[in-house]
Structures are given as structure tokens and as C-alpha cells.
A and B are shown apart, each in its own frame.
Chain A
Amino acid sequence: MKFPIAKFRVSGPSMSPTINSGDFVVVNRWAYLFSKPKIGDIVVIRHPTKRITMVKRIKKIKLGAVFVVGDDKQLSTDSRNFGYVPTSKIIGKVIFRT
């Protein structure tokens, strides 16, 4: 099992104004071990098809998958383009940003 806390540096504007490009986010990798993702959570996820990591907000939930969007909908490429993302792709929940 991986260490529960991980840090990521954010690149890109799609989560602004909540998170800006260049900010750090601290993620709890164990957040969803004993509880389920909630609508409104900001999560770091793996892209469903590409080998990249993204930060997005959960907008909808269905069994085993989440629909994530950026806070800046004009600039964001997200589940509106690539659909629901399996919860297994969630790396962790953002617990701190600076």
C-alpha cells in the first residue's frame, strides 16, 4: 500500500479560480478506502486512456465511476469529452492546495 500523502504540482488553468497553474496540491491516497467519493470532491485521477494525471472536480457519480469536470468549463477538457472515469483511476482526494 502506498504512502497516504502525495504532492502534485498543477499545470493548466482548467481548475481556476480554485486551483491555479503552478499550485501544489496535497492528496490523501487513502481517502476512499473506507468511504465513497462525493460530489464536489476535488480529485487527482489518471486519464482513462492517456498516460497522464489530472486534477478535476467530481460532478456526478455512478456505480464504480465518476464524472469529473474542471471548474473553468470553457478551458477544461474532462468527462464531457472522455466520459465517466472508473473509480480505480482515482489517485486520491485533494486535501490541501497552496
Chain B
Amino acid sequence: MASLLKNILNFAERFSPAEIAYAHCDIPCGIYDPHEAQMSAHTVIRMDELISQLKEKESTMSKEEYVIMLSRYASVKEEHAENCKHQARILWGDYFKPEHAQKYPQLQQLVWDIMKQGSECKQKVDVKAAESLLESVNKLAEIFWDSKGIKTQRVKVTYWPTNREIALPKF
């Protein structure tokens, strides 16, 4: 009976196409991952370190060379601090649902912290501020993976020059 009706509906489709009823209202890709935010937080730390090292080399460089390198580091730092905020907004607004906010009451404060720490990292050259941003982003990643029932572990990323921790899923 069901297949007969389906055949009738398919046949009718030739003459009068059915309106689409979406079972989503955005692209339902379901692809969310905090890793991009974590990479960006590490990048901010690295840019702070490179800017500090550049100050020591200033006397050995031409003024133009110094300005260009400083501008490049500052630009990348700005971009990646903003990306941390952007990724946290996506997770908060698109992925996390009210039931997550109930289960993880610290979530809202954590997202606010990332917003403020991201802005602070743009304003300053301060490794400590960047480390605070990374810590918050790692905590957000731990909540994200826990919401999917996946355990995490903190790993020191020795293959990145920042040589600091990242919260990774244990598959």
C-alpha cells in the first residue's frame, strides 16, 4: 500500500511538483569541531612570541624590514584572535542547545571569557593573555567532546613551536 502510494505520488510529481518541506532551516552539515579555535589560540601565542623576539632583533634590521615583519605578525595575531571568537560563537549559537547549557552551567561564562580574552589578545602583546585564551578554548573543546560522549586528553603539542597543551578527543 505504501509503495503503491509512493508510486502514485512519484507519478503525480511529473505534473505537479510537490513543494519542498525542509527538515532543516540552515545547511544541516552537522560538522562542528573546536580544533580550528584551538589552532588559532596557539597561533596567537606564537605571534606574541615572534613579536617579542622581533624587538630583540630590531637593531639588526632596516626600519622598513622591522615595520613589515611587525605588521605581518600583528595582522595574523588579529585574524586568529578574531577566529577564536568566531569559532566559539558558531559552537555556542549553532551547535550547543539549551540542554547543553543546562548540563554544562559553566558554558555561557566560558564563551563570554573567550570573547573578552580574544579582544584582550588583539589589544596587547601578552603571552599570558594568549595562554588564558587557549585555556578557555581547551575547556570549550572538552565540553564539546563530552557532549558527544567522547573523552578527551590534554596533550602537549610538541610538533608546534608553541609547545603547549591542546585538548584532543580520545577515539
Q: Is the interface of B mostly helix, strand, loop or mixed?
A: mixed
B28 within 8 A of A: yes
- Near B by CB (< 8 A), chain A positions 34-79 give 44, 47, 50, 52-56, 70, 73-78
Q: Count residues of chain A with CB under 8 A from any CB of chain B.
A: 36
The answer to whether A13 touches B28 (Cβ under 8 A) is yes
How many angstroms between the C-alpha atoms of A56 and B18 in the bound complex? 17
A10 within 8 A of B: yes
Residues of A within 8 A of B97 (CB): 73, 80-81
Chain B: residues with Cβ within 8 Å of the partner, total of 23
Number of A-B residue pairs with CB-CB distance less than 8 Å in the complex they form: 89
B residues near A50, Cβ cutoff 8 Å: 25
Which of B2, B3, B12, B24 meets A7, CB within 8 Å?
Answer: B12
Assess whether A90 is interfacial by the CB under 8 Å rule.
no
- B61 CB-CB contact with A under 8 Å: no
**Partner-B contacts on A (CB < 8 A):** 6-16, 19, 21, 24-26, 44, 47, 50, 52-56, 70, 73-78, 80-82, 96, 98
Chain B residues proximal to chain A, CB less than 8 Å: 2-3, 5-6, 9-10, 12-13, 17-26, 28, 30, 94, 97-98
